[in-house]
Structure formats: C-alpha cells, structure tokens
Chain A
C-alpha cells in the first residue's frame, strides 16, 4: 500500500503539485490522468524521489520513503517511461539485468529471471537476449523496457506514459499485456497517462488531476456517473459517457440466466462490444459463452441499455 500524504511540489512561486493525499491499494492498478502541466508526472516522480517533495511524505507499506537514500529506494521500485530509455550500448539481456546486478544477485538467478521475463513478454530468448535495442521494433523495445522495470521483482511499478510512443494496435496489445502481467505478479502499478480511454481500460481506480490538484480519485464507473467537478465530467467525456460506462462491464458480469437465440459473445467482451455486435447483426439478444464455449447466460439489448444509465 502506498500512502501519499499532503504531497506538495513548488518550483519558485509555481506550485506544480498542490497538497495531494491519496491511498493506493496493494495489487491494484491506479491511473493518474490529466492534461499536460497538470502535475501528474511530478506526482509520480515524487513517489520514487526523482523529484524531492517540497512538503508532505510518501509511505510504502508504512515505511517513509525519505528514510533511505533515493537510489536504494529506486532499486526496490520498478520504473518504466515513454520512449523506454533502454541503454543503447547494452544488449537486451544486460538491460534487463540492470537492477538485479545493482542489487548483487548471483549470475544464475539473473540469467533465470531474464529468461523468464523474455518468455513472459513473448520475446524468444535465443533471438533477443543478445540483441541490441536498436535491432528491435518499437513494440519490442517497449516490452523490454517494462521487463527491465520488473526485473528485480518490485512490489511497486511506476509507469510514466509507457505506451505514449506506440501506434494504436501495438498500444492495445501492450495494455492487454500489462493487465496480464499485473494479474501474474500482483504488482501494485501506478500509471500516468493523458489518455482517458487508457485510464478507464487499465485503472482499478483513476485519479483526475488538474493544476496540481487531484479533483477526483475513484473507480472509473463512479467518475462517469458522479463526476465531482465539471472538469472531471469534461475529461471523462459527456458525449459518449454512456458508451464508456458500458465498456467498463463485461458480458460475463452482466449476463442474465437462461439461454437465447442469436449470436454468441465471449464472457470477457465488454457490454459496449456486445451492443455493437447486436446492432451490427440486427439481433435482439445474444448468448454469452465462457472461454471453453460453454453457454453461461444471455444478454438482451434492453438489459444492456439499462446498464448504460447512471443507477
């Protein structure tokens, strides 16, 4: 658990982060979203003390982060950034081994960890371990960047616009990978982005920032249905908020008992996708099936529409 307490950063007369307090739950993904200049990156960088706070403090699992040297703190916290920042003069293997080596792991353990991470990130060790970053595609570089951040098994991973430089298709894939990684390792992830769709898709909880303050920090559905502030409502998007709300619920969660005629949809699909499918086919209802194809229930257009209203 990360406790942010009255965190403030001032540069001269300018207050970049203004008295922010928030609690980040263990094993969750928290997304900080805001326009540029909102202070979201500065807030993130104060957690691993790349930026020293002017006032306030950060506790990780109850320990004040100012109690140890910043570079020792950072070795326990994963850090991935836009444009990956891979070391161009070191191989993929050496890049990933950076923090384990700083921590003095033995070679066998480092080797095993690098292999494991490359497998997890779908990079064949035989092909890629000895490659240099410039020999990889943008998506591969980004994956190595995240693998490097996770190398020393940190309990906390900070990500600053990690997918900002990727094209939409690779970006969507990277987001799915991140959700898988989070489920696999249970890492507490704090991610900064300016992309509201990304925030809603990834975040268990989302903090909306503007002018150095956190305007609202809650579950995505609450942000949509009960925005605390006109700015939050604008950020979350008034015109398509119903569709956004539908995208937060899966077919499996909303399925009604019983079977149905019509097309079959996966339980993992969002209601937005199911509605789109039904509109396209001109069908009134669909059968929800699980990963094995077993029917798990049904969904009707009326039931989906009911979910698109603030309750």
Chain B
C-alpha cells in the first residue's frame, strides 16, 4: 500500500550537494583555465593552451564526454560504486588526454619544448580525487580491499609510465634526463625513511615499555622526546652538524663509515630522534590500554614476566603502537625531503635543485613520488592496524 503511494508521488531528482560543487569547479576549470602549458624550454614561462586546442577534435570530445558522465554520476547517482567507477574513469580520461596533448604539441624530435600540465588538469584531478575519496568512504571497504585497490592503482599507473603514455610530458622529460639519479635518490629516500624508523622502533619500544613499568620515568623521558619534537627540522640538522663533524674528526672509523657533519648521517640521526616520541608515547598509551585484570590473571595463571609482556601486553597494545609507526613513517617520508638541504640525498634533491633553477618540472619530479610514497605507506599501515584491531575486539 505504502509502496504504491510512494510511486504515485512524482519523485524530484535529488542533486548531490558535493557532486554539484565538484561539477561546478571542474566545469569552470575546464572552460577558464589552461589544460596544458607549452614552454619553449624547461625554464622560460610558457603559453596556456586549452583542451580543444591541444587535442585532436575526437580526443577532446571523448575526454569531455567521459567527464560529463562523471559529472552526471556525481550529481545524480546515489550508488557509491557507480560514483567511484565514474571518478576513476574521469581520472583515466584526464591522464590519457594529458599524455595525448603532450604528444600532439611536441614537434617530432624536439627535446627542448616542454608541455606541462595546466591548472585545469590539477583542478580536475582534485575534483575527481575528492569524488573517489567520498565514494570510497561511503563504501567503507575492508582493509584487504583497500590495499588491493592501491596495488591495482599503482599497477595501472606503472604500466602507463612503462608504456610511455606520458613520455612527452615535462615531468617525464626531466625523468628521462635524470633517470640514473632518480633511482639512486629514490632508494636513498626510502632507505633514510625506513632505516631511521627501524632504528627508532628498536630504541623507542623498550623505552616505552620501561616508561610503562616505571611510571616515575614516564614524565621525564617523554618530556625530553617532546622537546626534541618541537625543534624545527632545519635547526636540528644544524645542531647535529657540529657534534657529528667533531666525531668524524676524532674517530677515524666514524669517518670511514661515512659519518660527517653534513650528508646522510645528520639526516638519519635527526629523523631517528623525531621518530622516538610517537613510537614511545604510543607504546605507553597502548600498554596502558591493556585491562589490569587481564595482566593480573595472566600472572596469576603462571605466565612468566616475558610471556605476559610478549603474548598478552604487546599483542593487545599492537594497534596503538602501529598507529605510532604509521605517524612516524608518513612523517619521515615527508621530512627526508628536507634532508636534501644538508646533502642527505633523497628525492628532495630534485625539489631543491628545481627551486634553484626555477624549473618547476624538476620540483614535481621530486614531489610527486614523495606524496605517492607517503600516501601508500599510510594506506598499507592503516589496513594493518585495522586487521590487528579487529582481531582483538
């Protein structure tokens, strides 16, 4: 009866407010902002080119048709799967159009002309990204599917890069020139971020356990780590230069191991110091969260102190400790960028070189992988934390 009544009343089309905003932004960007920028070389400013001018007619039409579909889904579709699919199709369309525009605008054999993504590309990708994020939030996929989704995305992007879809784009031009260095600096970046994390974990976990067991130590230890955390990165690099330089001068072995006042050593030490607080503090918080009755029962049944710690307390505290690790990892991946300033290497090298040369393409060559790396690390660790937490409660 009620279903029939509902059918009788004509339903007004509901417009999704977020979809409306994103559609308006995207459409305005497409009309008003340049799709790509054509530069005579890597340093000189370029001239804006609209999508219709940059692409062969059918290409521009196909891209805009797909974007229109995405806009329709954003405005009217309530199904999160449909919205996600539309957003991803939109991202692929914009990416392919960008690559095609670069191919079309670059004269054959010309290695000097640069085609860079214009403001419209960034706005469109942001809008589509928000649409996708919103859809994923509504779908609330499990941890495994999120990681799978990330892997799929990385796989597709990797395939496109390997296939040469973006070879004529300015950033990829910079990559081609710097390919050897890029691999080296990327390795150095990951090595610095993960190495300092590993070292910090080895030190901060026992420190956190100690603080939990001896409450009198808690305030002073966490206080000192807190103070370290408040020192700006650049200042900490500076503070470390003098002692490390004198260490290298005094101990030949240290110098032989590559420890100097500048370079990777002060960067690694600084990152290590920054990593201590989140891990130690989260270890304390995680252990505090373990119910006292559980520890009491474990001891009362004859588990040894090590068994209580390893099999009960740390297992139950793990989700909180992993949250600390996640904070540190994402923070480190970003902060290693700054290490390039003192010769620490890493992808920041390209960022600072690019700034020095006013070559924005080179900046992007450093910045985009850093963002991708930090994002991936966050997704993977979040998934891990959720799996652990689910097992517990």
Q: A86 and B294: CB pair below 8 A?
A: yes
Chain B residues with CB under 8 Å of A98's CB are 301, 303
Chain B residues with CB under 8 Å of A74's CB are 299-302
Binds B, one of A32-40, A77-85, A189-197: A77-85
Contact (A99, B302) CB under 8 Å given A89-B315, A89-B391, A89-B392: yes
CA distance A72 to B304 in the complex (A): 9
Q: B293 and A102: CB pair below 8 A?
A: no
CA distance A73 to B304 in the complex (A): 11
CA distance A80 to B391 in the complex (A): 25
Q: A75 and B312: CB pair below 8 A?
A: no
Chain A residues with CB under 8 Å of B312's CB are 87
Q: A83 and B293: CB pair below 8 A?
A: yes
Q: A82 and B293: CB pair below 8 A?
A: yes
For residue A310, CB closer than 8 A to chain B, the reply is: no
Q: B300 and A88: CB pair below 8 A?
A: no
Closest residue to A165 on the B side, CB-wise?
B293
Q: B294 and A87: CB pair below 8 A?
A: yes
CA distance A85 to B294 in the complex (A): 4
* A residues contacting the other copy or chain, number (CB 8 A): 26
For residue A48, CB closer than 8 A to chain B, the reply is: yes
CA distance A84 to B296 in the complex (A): 10
Chain B residues with CB under 8 Å of A84's CB are 293, 297
Contact (A85, B291) CB under 8 Å given A50-B300, A102-B302, A102-B303: yes
B302 touches which one: A75, A86, A87, A89 (CB < 8 A)?
A75
Q: A79 and B297: CB pair below 8 A?
A: yes
Q: A89 and B316: CB pair below 8 A?
A: yes
Within 8 A of A (CB), among B297-322: 297-304, 307, 312, 315-316
A81 touches which one: B297, B302, B307, B315 (CB < 8 A)?
B297
Closest residue to A75 on the B side, CB-wise?
B302
CA distance A263 to B307 in the complex (A): 59
CA distance A85 to B295 in the complex (A): 7
Chain A residues with CB under 8 Å of B295's CB are 85
Q: How far is the CB of B209 from chain A (nearest CB, A)?
A: 18
CA distance A7 to B303 in the complex (A): 25
CA distance A74 to B391 in the complex (A): 28
Chain A residues with CB under 8 Å of B297's CB are 79, 81, 84-87, 145
Closest residue to B316 on the A side, CB-wise?
A89
CA distance A127 to B297 in the complex (A): 24
Q: How far is the CB of B319 from chain A (nearest CB, A)?
A: 10
Point out which of B297, B316, B392 has the most chain A C-beta atoms below 10 A from its C-beta: B297
Chain A residues with CB under 8 Å of B137's CB are none
CA distance A149 to B68 in the complex (A): 67
Contact (A134, B298) CB under 8 Å given A85-B291, A87-B312: no
Closest residue to A48 on the B side, CB-wise?
B300
Chain A residues with CB under 8 Å of B303's CB are 71, 98, 102
For residue B393, CB closer than 8 A to chain A, the reply is: yes
Q: A71 and B298: CB pair below 8 A?
A: no
Closest residue to B297 on the A side, CB-wise?
A85
CA distance A105 to B11 in the complex (A): 68
CA distance A66 to B315 in the complex (A): 31
Chain B residues with CB under 8 Å of A148's CB are 301
A72 touches which one: B293, B298, B302, B315 (CB < 8 A)?
B302
Chain B residues with CB under 8 Å of A145's CB are 297
Closest residue to A70 on the B side, CB-wise?
B302
Contact (A50, B301) CB under 8 Å given A85-B293, A88-B392: no
Within 8 A of B (CB), among A175-217: none
A88 touches which one: B299, B302, B307, B393 (CB < 8 A)?
B393
CA distance A75 to B303 in the complex (A): 8
Q: B393 and A134: CB pair below 8 A?
A: yes
User: Interface 1/0s, chain B 18-60, versus A by CB < 8 A?
Assistant: 0000000000000000000000000000000000000000000
Residues of B at under 8 Å CB distance from A? Answer: 291, 293-304, 307, 312, 315-316, 391-393
Q: A48-B300, A81-B297, A82-B293 provided; 19 other pairs, C-beta below 8 A?
A: A71-B302, A71-B303, A72-B302, A74-B299, A74-B302, A75-B302, A79-B301, A84-B297, A85-B291, A85-B300, A86-B297, A87-B312, A88-B316, A88-B392, A88-B393, A89-B315, A89-B391, A98-B303, A102-B303
Closest 4 pairs (CB-CB, A-B): A85-B297, A75-B302, A79-B300, A74-B302
* A-B residue pairs in contact (CB < 8 Å), sample of 29: A48-B300, A50-B296, A72-B302, A74-B301, A74-B302, A75-B301, A75-B302, A79-B300, A81-B293, A81-B296, A81-B297, A81-B300, A82-B293, A83-B293, A84-B293, A85-B293, A85-B297, A85-B298, A87-B298, A87-B312, A88-B392, A88-B393, A89-B392, A98-B301, A98-B303, A99-B301, A102-B303, A148-B301, A149-B301
